[in-house]
Amino acid sequence: MNRSDVFVSPKWLLDHLCDDRVVVVDGSWHMPATQRSGRAEYLAAHIPGAVFFDLDAVADQTTDLPHMLPTADAFAAAVGALGIADDATIVVYDVYGLRSAARVRWTFRVMGAADVRILEGGLPAWQAAGYGVEAGEASRPAATFAARLDVGAVRSFAEVMASLGSPTIQIADARSAGRFHAREPEPRAGLKSGHMPGAVNVPFEELIDGDRLKSAQEVARVFASHGIDIARPVITSCGSGVTAAILSLGLETIGAADVALYDGSWTEWGGRPESVVVSD
């Protein structure tokens, strides 16, 4: 895979900002404890013409689990109203450089969008290059998004439970080592501490250099150092399905063929009485 299949540079985006088929999406999201609002920050400053994708709003509203995937129909209606068609070139960014942008890209791809890139370095790189921002709400004409959920790219609680003890399926957990080993409390109240039996801890920060994904060679070294075999199936997980997408993204760039994301992640697993948890 070429890096250009996943990322675009600020200069590339500047050159294509007025292309009708290019849609820029601000996918910034913050942990609740930060008391920051992605939408409020978007309204204060965003890349010209960018629309805001709210991870918590374009989500399954029938569960109390955060930003779970909505139905294909609900997703189609929401992003169509934002002016995003399924055949557009979608460029996603966030205010950190590479955090929730990976989850937003994964969401669009799992819903059938063919061409979704991430702005390398995000909003910080855009501004560091000297390019301007605008305030307020940007709008686009309504579009048609024919959503088709790729069920093979998503894992449910039951499917992850069934995979425990499998000699072939690997679970890669993106949370910090402290949370994984139950040395630090979970940021969300009421959750068990620890990890799934057999899971491997691959903290997402190890894949990032500053605000960018490391090179394919470095990413491959990180996964190999944790014993992840990219020739075997991998399920990625984290706290709520956001940074798990960074692991999925990294695996994609090094040619892993069978990668799925556990949508409920630890917020679901750590809150279910029947889940199996290891603390060490």
Closest CA to 94 of 40, 28, 149: 28
Q: Assess contact for 35 and 103: CB atoms under 8 A.
A: no
The position carrying tokens 């929401």 is 78
Distance of CA 164 to the CA centre of its chain: 24
Residues β-bridged to residue 118: 7, 92
Angle subtended at Cα 115 by Cα 56 and Cα 146, rounded to the nearest 5 degrees: 65
Q: How far apart are CA 121 and CA 81, in angstroms?
A: 27
Query: Which positions are catalytic?
Result: 238
Torsions phi, psi for 114 (to 5 deg)? -85, -30
Q: How far apart are CA 146 and CA 151, in angstroms?
A: 15
Q: Assess contact for 261 and 154: CB atoms under 8 A.
A: yes
Dihedral Cα 64, 67, 69, 70, nearest 10 deg: 70
Q: How far apart are CA 179 and CA 52, in angstroms?
A: 31
Three-state secondary structure call for residue 36: coil
